[in-house]
Amino acid sequence: MEQIIFSPKSLGSALKRQRKIKNLSQNEVGTPFKIDQTTVSSIEQGASGTRLETLFRMLAALDLEMLIRPKKPIKTKKGDNW
């Protein structure tokens, strides 16, 4: 499933959704990639300041990849538009 990500919060929600689809706990996602449970939780809650290395390890843990493409106009909630 593809999803447009427009903020740390939407990224966190997408990662959490994928983790739940795979029926994995936060520990099960993080442990093999040396990400502690509190960090997984923080990312899923949309906390800013996540290191790129940590984000890529979490993507790998969930068998996901990042795609960069030109932005299409989308309607966002006030304050979510970057």
Q: What's residue 72's pLDDT? A: 75
pLDDT tens-digit map of 38-81:
999 999 999 989 999 999 999 999 999 999 889 877 666 666 65
- Stretch 3-21: mean pLDDT: 93
Cα separation, 79 vs 50, in Å, equals 19
Q: Note the pLDDT of residue 3.
A: 86
Residue 2 pLDDT greater than 90, yes or no: no
The per-residue pLDDT for 74 is 63
| Assessment of whether the complete model's pTM goes beyond 0.95 | no
Tokens 């989308």 correspond to 74
